[in-house]
Structure 1
Amino acid sequence: MAIYVGNLSYDASEQDITDVFAEYGQVRRVHLPTDRDTGRMRGFAFVDMETLAQEDAAIDALDGAEWLGRALKVNKAKPREERGGSFGKRRY
């Protein structure tokens, strides 16, 4: 399972996020999605930690915490939903 981290400062780096989450356990991976047109960070990240207990501790401690001038939104990431191709279809 992954942690969703929203409302990130655009100045945050992968290493910055790793350092913050490492206080709560072993960080396995940080993913910072970028805009495909501009290459700019989109303002959120996903963090994978070693155990669910570490994820829960990080969520409890960091959700709502101020970091780099922004109040973080930290919770369990939801599975990505399939996007239905509605191009050309009418919805009534």
Structure 2
Amino acid sequence: MRIYVGNLPYSVTDDDLRNLFSEYGALSSAEVIKDKFSGQSKGFGFVDMPNQSEAENAIKELHDSPLQGRKMTVNEARPRADRPPRRF
């Protein structure tokens, strides 16, 4: 299951996410999304957990819990909506 993790402090790293979620089960991946030009965190990320029940437990336990002074938003990731191509 792919999990969305939002409202992250900009200082959170991939390893921080991995360590936090690994307490709830096995992970396939953990990634903080960064701006492609500046490399600055965008304040959200994704965690992939292969076991459905472990993922659901992690969501239940971590949603609205504090991480470095901010309450995280944790839920099942939804597919990104189709967007029209950008024009420059």
- Name the counterpart of 1:44: 44
Q: TM-score, normalised by structure 2?
A: 0.91
The one-letter code sitting in structure 1 at the alignment partner of 2:25 is: G
Structure 1 runs not aligned, ≥5 long: 88-92
Q: What's 1:31 paired with?
A: 31
Partner residue in 1 for 2:84: 84
How high is the sequence identity, in percent, across the aligned residues?
37
Secondary structure of the corresponding residue to residue 20 of structure 1: helix
Shift of 1:84: 2.0
Using the size of structure 1 for normalisation, the TM-score is 0.87
- The one-letter code of the counterpart of 1:54 is E
Q: CA deviation at 1:57?
A: 0.4
* Distance (Å, rounded) in 2 between the aligned partners of 1:70 and 1:21: 16
| Residue 61 of structure 1: aligned partner | 61
Superposition CA RMSD, Å? 1.3
Larger radius of gyration: 1
* Unaligned runs of at least 5 residues, structure 2: none
Q: Distance between the aligned counterparts of 2:26 and 2:86, measured in 1? A: 41
Higher strand share: 2
